[in-house]
C-alpha cells in the first residue's frame, strides 16, 4: 500500500480522502475511523473531511453518508479535544 501511495502524483491528504470515501461506501466504521485519523495527520481539516463525505451523497446515499459523518466525528471530536 505504501509503495502505491508514493508512486503517483496524488498528495497524501488526497489519497486519504479517496480511501475515506471507499471506506464509507462499504460501510466500514473501523476503516472510516482509520482514514479520518490519517487524513487529519496528512493535513486535512474537519471541514474538508465533511465535504468529502457529503459529496458522496448522490453516489452512496444519504443514510450511508450520515453514518460515515457520525463515525468521522468520533475521530474529529477526539482530535480536537
C-alpha cell at 32: 472510516
Domain that holds residue 67: 2-80
Tens-place pLDDT, residues 68-79: 999 999 999 998
Among candidate residues 23, 16, 67, the one with its CA nearest the CA of residue 37: 16
Tens-place pLDDT, residues 33-66: 999 999 999 999 999 999 999 999 999 999 999 9
Do 80 and 46 form a contact (C-beta atoms < 8 A)? yes
Q: How many domains does the structure of the chain reveal?
A: 1
Does the reported pTM lie above 0.75?
Answer: yes
- pLDDT recorded at residue 55: 98
**How far is 75 from 1, CA to CA, in rounded Å?**
23
Length reported for the chain:
81
Among candidate residues 21, 20, 15, 18, the one with its CA nearest the CA of residue 3: 15
> For the domain that residue 6 is a member of, what is the CATH number?
1.20.1290.10
Full DSSP string of 15-28: HHHHHHHHHHHTT-
Amino acid at each position: 500500500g505504501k509503495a502505491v501511495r508514493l508512486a503517483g502524483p496524488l498528495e497524501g491528504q488526497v489519497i486519504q480522502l479517496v480511501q475515506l470515501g471507499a471506506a464509507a461506501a462499504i460501510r466500514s466504521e473501523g476503516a472510516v475511523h482509520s482514514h479520518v485519523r490519517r487524513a487529519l495527520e496528512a493535513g486535512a481539516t474537519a471541514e474538508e473531511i465533511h465535504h468529502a463525505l457529503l459529496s458522496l451523497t448522490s453516489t452512496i446515499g444519504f443514510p450511508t453518508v450520515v453514518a460515515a459523518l457520525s463515525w468521522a466525528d468520533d475521530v474529529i471530536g477526539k482530535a480536537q479535544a
